[in-house]
Amino acid sequence: MNITDFDVNNASFNSDKLKEHVYLITGAAGAIGSALAVALGTSGATTILVDRNSKGLDATYDQITDAGGAEPIKLELDLASAGMPQYEEMADLIRIEFGRLDGIIHCAVETGTLTPLQQYSMDMLNKTLLVNLSAPYMLTRCCLDLLREADDACVIFTSTDIARQGKAYWGGYSISGYALEGLAQIWADELETNTTIRINTLDTGPVRSLLRARIFPGEDPATLPSANSVVPGYLHLLTSDVNGVALRIVGNR
């Protein structure tokens, strides 16, 4: 796997490439998903916000519209219980409304528990695999025809350092991350020759969020970069021509 560093302090992208585009974001109520949705919505793109947290979706929606962005579409969905019928229905709705999809950014995540593998709950392992691997696969698969209708579509799978180098006690989160990196590489290779769809992964590094606080309750959140600081990495992947890249954000603070 070739990991490419991306310094957000020197980031630049052509925001005109985002205008009038349609992007679907999972985990849109979370810190990174929400920050990205607001950035896209205020850059002239239409966002489709997917999350199980209805209040969080409302908050992201309000941030975009209050800033004068295009009115988003909210889709409340729990990835831990959804299956192919739900994703096919979602794709049908997008087809009717827009006729295409310019990109999918997978930000939803299930971290599981910090537990030795020998003691890891099978229920928790299955849940992390479903949310972090199977759900992104099913959603992307159901939307491939919509992505093919776009001139230059991009799918981004949010990744992490423990998806690229195993670390003790991270169990299902690390296992599903490794598999997701492999999934992205396979799809990038398969789609490169006969479509304009690009597939990449992005390791954001630690960011300040409620999810992070639950995992590391003793950590001072003031020492962590904000979710907004990693948004340029996503925008770079959406507006550039790279494919099959495992990007790693550096320099954010």
Coil, helix or strand at residue 203: strand
Q: pLDDT at position 48, please? A: 98
pLDDT at 199 over 80: yes
Question: Per-residue confidence at 209, pLDDT binned at 50, 70, 90?
Answer: confident
d(CA 45, CA 154): 14
Give one word for 209, left, alpha or beta, with left for phi > 0 and alpha for psi -120 to 50.
beta
Amino acid at 209: S
Average pLDDT over residues 180-206: 95
d(CA 180, CA 201): 9
pLDDT at 1 over 70: no
The total of other beta-carbon atoms located within 10 Å of residue 136's CB is: 23
pLDDT at 138 over 90: yes
Q: pLDDT at position 216, please? A: 83
> Which residues are paired to 203 by β-bridges?
159, 248
> Which residues are paired to 23 by β-bridges?
47, 103
* % pLDDT > 70, the chain: 99
pLDDT at 253 over 80: no
Q: pLDDT at position 25, please? A: 98
Mean pLDDT of the chain: 94
CATH number at residue 196: 3.40.50.720
* % pLDDT > 90, the chain: 82
Coil, helix or strand at residue 14: coil
Q: Which domain holds residue 106?
A: 3-250
The total of other beta-carbon atoms located within 10 Å of residue 214's CB is: 9
Which residues are CB-neighbours of 126 under 8 A, at least 6 positions away?
A: none
pLDDT at 157 over 70: yes
**What is the number of structural domains in the chain?**
1
pLDDT tens-digit map of 5-47: 989 888 877 888 999 999 999 999 999 999 999 999 999 999 9
Average pLDDT over residues 71-83: 97
Secondary structure tally for the chain: helices H, strands E: 8, 8
What's the per-residue H, E or C state across 120-180? CCHHHHHHHHHHHHHHHHHHHHHHHHHHHCCCCCEEEEEECHHHCCCCCCCHHHHHHHHHH
